[in-house]
Amino acid sequence: MKTRFAIAFIVSALSGLAFVTTVRADQEGDKPPSKAMLEKYDANHDGVISEEEKEAGKAAAKEAREARRQEELDKYDENKDGKINRDERAKIKADREAEKDAKKAKS
C-alpha cells in the first residue's frame, strides 16, 4: 500500500513538473522551433520565427491551398458549379494515383 502511494505521488509530481515546463516554454517562447518549421517560416534565416514570419507563412500556405483548389476546379469541375462533387473528386484521386504510378514506373 505504501509503495503504491509513493508511486502515485511520484507520477503526479512528475506530470506536474512536465506541465510547468511546457507552460513555461510556451510563455517564454524558448522552445526551439523544429527544422521543418524553420525551413517553412524563417524567411530571414535568423533561426527565430517572428510573428511576421509566422503570419506570412500562414498566408502563403493559405494562398497555396486556394491556388490548388482553384486548379482542381479549373481542371475537374465538369459541371461548372464551382464545387467538386463526389464524381469529380474520384477523378482527382484517380489522376493522383496515376501520377504516383507513373513516378514509380520511372524510378
Residues that bind Ca ion (CB under 5 A): 42, 44, 46, 48, 77, 79, 81, 83, 85
Smaller CB separation from Ca ion, 3 or 44? 44
3-state secondary structure of 79: coil
16 Cβ contact partners less than 8 Å away, ≥ 6 residues apart: none
Q: Residue 73 CB, nearest distance to Ca ion (Å)? A: 8
3-state secondary structure (DSSP) of residue 29 = coil
Smallest separation (angstroms) from Ca ion to the CB of 36:
15
* Nearest-angstrom CA–CA distance, 62 and 60: 5
CB-nearer residue toward Ca ion: 89 or 100 = 89
CB of 15 or CB of 85, closer to Ca ion: 85
CB of 63 to Ca ion, least distance (A): 20
Among candidates 93, 69, 92, which has minimal Cα distance to 82?
A: 69
